[in-house]
Amino acid sequence: YGKSHILADVSDLAAALEGVARPPDGRALDVATGGGHTAVWLAEQGWNVTASDLSPAMLERAAELAVSKGVSLETTLHEAERLPYADGTFGIVSCRVAAHHFSNPPAFVSEVARVLCPGGLFLLIDGSVPDGDPVAAEWIHKVEKFRDPSHGRFLAPGEWSSLCQDAGLEILKCGTTPFKQPDLTWYFETAGTTEANRNAVMNLIRSAPEQAVKAFGLAEEEGRIVWWWPRLSLVARRS
C-alpha cells in the first residue's frame, strides 16, 4: 500500500468528482484508508481530513504519506460499520477499493448517510460485478476469497445504488469502467496467498465459465494471466 502501489494513481478520484458541486462543509472522512492515498488527495484539495482504518499499521502508513506530501490529516481507529462521529459531521465521506472487505455494507452505507451533512457527498470506488450476472459474480467471489480470505463480496452497481437510496442518498453518478489488473503473480504476492489457495485460484481460472471470461476479460498475455475489473465509481448526495 506504499507509494508504488496500484492505488497510488488517484486519477480515478478526480474523474469521479468532476462536475460535482463541492459541499460547503470542508471536513472529510476517508473510511478504510489503507495506505492513505485517497485521504492525502482530499487533503491536497483543501479538505480537513480524518483518515480511518481498522489497522494501526495502515494508519501509520497514511500518516507517513501525508508528511511526505506536505499535508496534514487526523487518523482514527474504527470499523466501517460503526462510525464514532456525530450526525452531520462531514461534507464528504470516501471509501476507495475497500468496501468489498466489509461484513455489512447496508450498515456501512447507513452510517455514511448519518454522518454526512445536508448536501454532503458519498464517494465510493471499488471493484464490482455486472448487474444481473450471478454466474460471473459467484466465480470472482470464489477467486477473491481464495486469493485473500479477508475478501467479503463485490456488489453490483444496482445493489450499491439501492443501498444508497434506502439510506436517503441521491445518486449523482453510478457506473463502471474496465480497469486492468496487474498479473496474477502480483495479486498473489500482494495478498500473501498460500500455495494451496494459489492452486485453487488456478483451477478456477482453468475452468472459468464463459460468463466470467466475458465479464472480466480473462486472458493470457505473454504467459501472464490478466483480467479487467469493472471498477465502480459512485457519487451520492445527502439531500
pLDDT tens by residue, 43-68: 999 999 999 999 999 999 999 999 99
Q: Mean pLDDT throughout 75-100?
A: 97
Q: Mean pLDDT throughout 80-104?
A: 97
Asked if residue 4 has pLDDT above 70, the reply is no
The three-point CA angle 8-67-62 to 5° equals 50
Helix (H) or strand (E) holding 190: helix 184-191
In the block, cell 460547503 appears at 24
Tens digits of residue pLDDT in 101-144: 999 999 999 999 999 999 999 999 999 999 999 999 999 999 99
SS3 state at 180? strand
Mean residue pLDDT across the chain: 94
Q: Among the listed ranges 4-13, 16-25, 178-187, 208-217, which one has the minimum average pLDDT value?
A: 4-13
pTM score of the predicted model: 0.93
Asked if residue 5 has pLDDT above 70, the reply is no
Return the pLDDT at 1: 46
Backbone torsions φ then ψ of 157, nearest 5 degrees: -55, -40
Return the pLDDT at 187: 80
Give the integer Cα–Cα distance in Å for 51 and 105. 19
Return the pLDDT at 3: 46
